[in-house]
Structure 1
Amino acid sequence: MGEIQDQLFILVGALACLNYLLKCVKFCKYFLLRLWNPLPKSFFRSMGEWAVITGAGDGIGKAYSYELAKRGLNIVMISRTLEKLQAVAKGIEETTGSHVKIIQADFTKDDIYENIKENLQGLEIGILVNNVGMLHNYIPFHFLSAPEEVQNLIHCNISSVVKMTRLILRDMEIRRKGLVLNISSGAGRFPWPLYSIYSSTKAFVCTFSKALQVEYKEKGIVIQVVTPYFISTQMTKHINPNIVMKTADEFVKESLDSVAVGAETCGCLAHEILAHLIDLVPSWILYSDAFQNFILTHYAYDQNKIPESKK
């Protein structure tokens, strides 16, 4: 009996070491690929003539629109606020010379996709960035205390990814090339209590994306899920950027250079390191009552430090 236990402990230890080694290899792969095997400048334009970006009027979506236009693509911007789309489209056309097409759509609704499909007819779409998303409780809450507008969140964070991918992936399959970037969140890499619904919707995006990559990799299509942690946008109340809190422009430039890394990336080196460190923390610490209470207390303290005019 003792010999069996010893063998079992050895097996568990070996598996733990192997798991850690694989994580180290993934991290090194991210670092080495960007240094020694960078993507050619022509890569993005070689996918097709047009890039489609959802949630393109602000933040990360706006940054993807500008950056992909700079890399030679024409842009289809889809978002809810027409005035923002028009202003960003004008700026892109004036600074890059790319053509921009705008489609007004509210992704919290479920009846918008036929109109989007009609507006995309005839375009050679090489890149899709499923970026649109919403966080319905910026303040951490227990599930029953959070706002009740759950369906809007599901439409925006889940249905949009599935339906936009279905609209565009078929033509990519026919042409045997294309790039789909699904913007998830670090909150989707493991359960985040106090943001349970948001975390769960982003976990869906991770699982869906990685499953699709297996299905379509052999057909020449790259499908990657991007799981950033902290980006200074309207969703995060434009918190001042720092070594971890990236601006949208900084993050997007780095994330596009990470396309060759694999099916999942945090998008930038700082967030890859952060994710690696978080993975080392035992889950019982993250999910303890003491840690959850700390988050609630710390957030309340930070809110009290913000002047009323900025809340």
Structure 2
Amino acid sequence: MQGVRYDCINPEANGTRDGREQWLLNTQVALLLGEKDLELSRYTAWNRIPVSAVAKRAIWRLESDRYALTTPGLFELGEQLQDYYQGNDPHKMGYRQLERLRAEAWEKFAAMEMFFVKASDFLYIIPTIQHLRNVKLTVAYCELPENEMQCISWAPHQKWRRDADAHGFGGFAPSNKHYVNGELVSEDKPGLREASTSPFPRQRVPRRGFIAIPRDEHGYTRVIKEQGIDGSGNDAELPLLPNGVHSSPMSGSSRAATTNVNGLESPSSITNTTTNGGGDHPISPSSEAGSAQLRCLVNGTGALSNTG
């Protein structure tokens, strides 16, 4: 359920204690009560506030798929309505069909006489409703735009920041409140986490390119030493270079050698590329000695000459 702040429904309540109270849509309350009468005529003592056109548009943005039955979790309900999906499998409907259903649902939604009721009034009668006893009900925190300009810009108003206990949410907006038998049992709040003082252990294996080298392969011991890996698969201390840079896992001797992996030449032995270009070109323009020249690069793009 969307629990809308009262000061979003009635701006005159800004800064008051009542302004923080949450109100619910009659459609959601009627659904939970199992009432076909959306006017909730039996509950004459409840306060009611009509839903404005601005509030309707904002609510529709949040819950259009629920009212149009266009979300997979509600397809089963839509299939119980005669010819709602016009004989189509809702799981296979295209975008145009879903938009048609949303457009038709919006026309009905906009024409409905809707109103808000106090969440506290609804929660008070929960123990008397047999099918709602011992059922956890969740009320989400919701703020709605107060006027047309706020609805167009859709900028968050963040009225909760002016609440006395706003600091308790760690800079986040209030979240869900959970009720059982009308009593608040829990509230979702951000929690604190402690960062680890040490990194996760890495399980490294020797590789030739991207291919792992099995233990029974000739030269396995030599490769794990070159790549700074101990025999257990954990990291050994890598030889340090100036500025704290570690040496490359591929040693100089292995780069010089030409190796075949799965029938392909190892990337370490490739010096030329012909990707989308013709002829033999250096992988990097800096691989040729001398001043910068016009060179073909990947995708056939030429580097500008620096001779002018």
* TM, length-normalised to structure 2: 0.23
Richer in helix (by share): 1
> Which of the pair has the greater relative contact order for Cα pairs under 8 Å at 6+ separation?
1
Q: Between Structure 1 and Structure 2, whose CA radius of gyration is higher?
A: 2
